[in-house]
Chains A and B, each alone.
Chain A
Amino acid sequence: MNSDRRRINGPSGGTSAPIYSKYITQDLSSLPPRPTRSRPPNVLRKMYGQLMLFSVLKTGVTPSASGSAYLELEASPHHPNLTKTGLASLSTSGLKLTCTVHGPRPLPKSAPFSPHIILSTHVKYAPFATRKRKGYLRDASERDLGVHLETALRGVIIGDRWPKSGVEVIITILEGEEDRWWGDEGGAGEWGMMSVLSGCITVASAAIADAGIDCVDVVAGGLAALVQRSGKPGLVLDPVPSEHKDIVAACIVGYLPQRDEITDLWVKGDIGDGGGYEELADNAVQAALGAHRVLVAALKETADVKMGRY
């Protein structure tokens, strides 16, 4: 624990996360069954509360965000013979993201002239968002997510309409995706982060639209992965890392359906020879298209509310 004198840091002796007896026994049968993917490989998870607007419809007297959005992906269903527990240990979490957009607003006088809008992105995990408690200071993975998000969004905003201005996109991850199932050993690792990034792109896109910032298109994030299923590699859209023991490779795209353009592409893992790569990217685009459909429907709904109101 880094000692941050501006925060309350807790016992100086240091604390450790609880260790559950189940997971340190070598007996595999006592381990809780891994959740299984019940969706067909080409079906995305349900998105809840696709666009829950809080305090954004009011402008003027209440200083609040220019735009905001909330995204929640359903958690994988519990194994049928596992009673739903209320403890934090056996959790299968969905993804919960909130995004606020502030701006466009004038840059401070000290800032150098910019002919287009300056986009800055912040992605931060809440301390309780993951199995292991996160600190308050941004770590490398959060900065990495921020950079990827900026790449995905920069090409979408029509920047030269706001010279000398800045816009901030801030995402708080209330609940992140897990990297693996509980009993699993290490493994190559951060698959959850890719799923988080695809959610970040989608939710940021919604918040930017809500803020009324001109864009060339509504960008959506999509994720596809190559997983080992019964010994054979197969492609799945929108994989949940805890549902698959062996994820071989994953690809995430930020995709603009109207222009058929990709703004951000990130592939990780072992894709083998060239052919697999293209197929993987195509599948990620399919996933993005699915997210885009939900996104557009939600934006239409919001627009109707706004029009009806004013």
Chain B
Amino acid sequence: MASAAPQSTLSFPRETFAKLSPHPYLLAHLQPTSDSSIPTRANGRVATQFRTPHINNGSLTHAEGSAVVRIGDTTVVCGIRAEILLANNVAGYRVDKSSTAPSSKVGYNEAKELDLLVPNIELATGCSPAFMPGQPPSTLAQSLSTRIYSLLHSSGLVDGEDLRIWYQPPDLSDQDKMEEEDEEDVPEPEVKAFWTLYIDILFISLDGNPFDAAWAGVISALKNVRLPKAYWDPDREMILCEDSVAQSKKLQLRGLPIAVTSLVFKAKEQKQAKVQKCWILVDPDTFEEGLCEESVTVVIDCGSGKTKMLGISKAGGTTIGMLEMKGIVSLAEKRWVELSDLLDR
């Protein structure tokens, strides 16, 4: 720990220093007075060091898919429940020939049009004193839910076909063949219903970087989903499911995007100086989040051998340019290898 140097000049303990003047506290860690010690953050990590992730799948029995993701002191439980949306209940959905169905149009995203993916983040679980239950979801919870929602759709992660429940009407043409011989062949299969995935993300413990943890939870839980075999029962006029594992199916996810968030910590004291000293801190904790303004989240997928960027969101400052961005992406690539290893297990 690089803490030995600042502590010797202080007459109060480290915790008090951190609380009274958090900015100089972190700065003192990143700029140790002695050259021999390695600059680390207040949490003991070096600037480019991520926290070790732990992922545990399928531990919830009532959810079709679930995951518990722990990154440092941030713990997320993600549970996915699948429910059925009848095509009849979709306003304006035309159950007609598949050739003219809206799904045949280019760029049609069925999951988005029909709202089949429903992610929600709950922070008011006592995970942090800042978010207390009994109140409507905080702004952070709402914005995180929206970001997860838009990333789910823009990444095209879930194949719309996986969510459809088809029905093949019986071929009645045999009996009618006598009368109308030139009548057309087998009736076309139709979509009777859709699976809707309710993705609920609960924070059990929050110590910074909620988005990365929540997204890892969503991916891991989606990989864990098993949808039962569902079919349209024409006699009962309802969708029924079979509860055998052999007949159930997993979702075919397209890619494995990983979110990586970094913050920029600036040495405030040198405001008059032309070049302000700054550090890029990856995978920040709550203490660091309180001290930094500029943040970058990159979502990348290196699954196909080369790095695909699915999203960059950057806000709060002007420090990060092209060069820094490259550094962040290469760090994210390293993180992708680490996380995808865990997720593929």
Give residues in A with beta carbon < 8 Å to B: 6-22, 24, 54-55, 58-65, 68, 75, 85-94, 96, 98-100, 102, 105, 122, 124, 126-131, 133, 136, 138, 168, 170-172, 174-175
What residues of chain A lie closer than 8 Å to B14, measured between beta carbons? Answer: 60
- Contact (Cβ within 8 A) A54 B62: no
Interface residues of B in 33-78 (CB under 8 A from A): 42-43, 58, 60-64, 66, 70, 73, 75, 77
Cα distance, A7 to B79, chains bound together (Å)? 16
Question: Could you tell me the distance in whole angstroms from the C-beta of B51 to the nearest C-beta in chain A?
Answer: 12
Q: Does B338 contact A (CB under 8 A)?
A: no
Known: A20-B241, A59-B15, A87-B248. A128 touches B200 (CB 8 A): yes
Cα distance, A66 to B58, chains bound together (Å)? 29
Q: Does B81 contact A (CB under 8 A)?
A: yes
Contact of A88 among B64, B128, B146 (CB under 8 A): B64
What residues of chain A lie closer than 8 Å to B122, measured between beta carbons? Answer: 126, 136
Question: Could you tell me the distance in whole angstroms from the C-beta of B4 to the nearest C-beta in chain A?
Answer: 17
Apart from A128-B79, A130-B62, list 8 A-B contacts with CB within 8 A.
Answer: A14-B85, A20-B241, A21-B240, A61-B43, A89-B228, A128-B66, A170-B126, A175-B60
Interface-facing stretch out of B113-121, B166-174, B265-273: B113-121
Pairs A-B, 7 closest by C-beta atoms: A170-B126, A60-B15, A13-B89, A128-B79, A91-B61, A100-B126, A55-B73
A-B contact pairs, 25 of them (CB 8 A): A9-B118, A10-B196, A11-B85, A12-B91, A20-B228, A20-B242, A21-B241, A24-B240, A61-B42, A62-B207, A62-B287, A63-B286, A63-B287, A85-B244, A86-B245, A87-B228, A87-B243, A99-B126, A124-B125, A126-B77, A128-B60, A133-B81, A133-B198, A170-B126, A171-B126
- Contact (Cβ within 8 A) B200 A172: no
- Contact (Cβ within 8 A) B207 A64: yes
Cα distance, A99 to B204, chains bound together (Å)? 9
Cα distance, A175 to B290, chains bound together (Å)? 33
Q: Does B18 contact A (CB under 8 A)?
A: yes
Which residue of chain B has the shortest Cβ distance to A23 in the bound complex? B243
Q: Does B19 contact A (CB under 8 A)?
A: yes
- Contact (Cβ within 8 A) A60 B18: yes
Known: A54-B205, A126-B202, A128-B62. A64 touches B128 (CB 8 A): yes
Cα distance, A100 to B203, chains bound together (Å)? 12
Q: Does B145 contact A (CB under 8 A)?
A: yes
Question: Could you tell me the distance in whole angstroms from the C-beta of A108 to the nearest C-beta in chain B?
Answer: 12
Q: Is the interface of B mostly helix, strand, loop or mixed?
A: mixed
- Contact (Cβ within 8 A) A172 B204: yes
Which residue of chain A has the shortest Cβ distance to B243 in the bound complex? A89
Which residue of chain B has the shortest Cβ distance to A17 in the bound complex? B83
What residues of chain B lie closer than 8 Å to A22, measured between beta carbons? Answer: 243
- Contact (Cβ within 8 A) B126 A65: yes
- Contact (Cβ within 8 A) A89 B241: yes
The 0/1 profile, CB within 8 Å of A marked 1, for residues 285-298 of chain B is 11100000000000
- Contact (Cβ within 8 A) B83 A54: no
Question: Could you tell me the distance in whole angstroms from the C-beta of B95 to the nearest C-beta in chain A?
Answer: 14
Known: A10-B115, A89-B243. A62 touches B73 (CB 8 A): yes
Known: A15-B84, A172-B125. A122 touches B19 (CB 8 A): no
Q: Does B90 contact A (CB under 8 A)?
A: yes
- Contact (Cβ within 8 A) B145 A8: yes
Q: Is the interface of A mostly helix, strand, loop or mixed?
A: loop
Q: Does B234 contact A (CB under 8 A)?
A: no
Cα distance, A62 to B74, chains bound together (Å)? 11
What residues of chain A lie closer than 8 Å to B130, measured between beta carbons? Answer: 63
What residues of chain B lie closer than 8 Å to A89, measured between beta carbons? Answer: 228, 241, 243
Question: Could you tell me the distance in whole angstroms from the C-beta of B103 to the nearest C-beta in chain A?
Answer: 16
Interface residues of B in 161-203 (CB under 8 A from A): 196, 198, 200, 202
- Contact (Cβ within 8 A) B132 A127: no
Cα distance, A227 to B120, chains bound together (Å)? 40
Known: A13-B85, A62-B285, A64-B205. A18 touches B142 (CB 8 A): no
- Contact (Cβ within 8 A) B61 A7: no
- Contact (Cβ within 8 A) A11 B204: no
What residues of chain A lie closer than 8 Å to B82, measured between beta carbons? Answer: 18
Known: A6-B136, A128-B79. A174 touches B240 (CB 8 A): no
Which residue of chain A has the shortest Cβ distance to B86 in the bound complex? A13
Known: A13-B85, A87-B228. A62 touches B126 (CB 8 A): no
Question: Could you tell me the distance in whole angstroms from the C-beta of A55 to the nearest C-beta in chain B?
Answer: 4
- Contact (Cβ within 8 A) A16 B18: no
What residues of chain B lie closer than 8 Å to A75, measured between beta carbons? Answer: 61
Contact of A174 among B60, B129, B137 (CB under 8 A): B60
Q: Does B279 contact A (CB under 8 A)?
A: no
Cα distance, A129 to B287, chains bound together (Å)? 32
What residues of chain A lie closer than 8 Å to B90, measured between beta carbons? Answer: 11, 13
- Contact (Cβ within 8 A) B126 A174: no
Question: Could you tell me the distance in whole angstroms from the C-beta of B206 to the nearest C-beta in chain A?
Answer: 8
- Contact (Cβ within 8 A) B245 A87: yes
Residue among B125, B126, B130 with most chain A CB within 10 A: B126
Known: A11-B85, A12-B91, A88-B64. A61 touches B287 (CB 8 A): yes
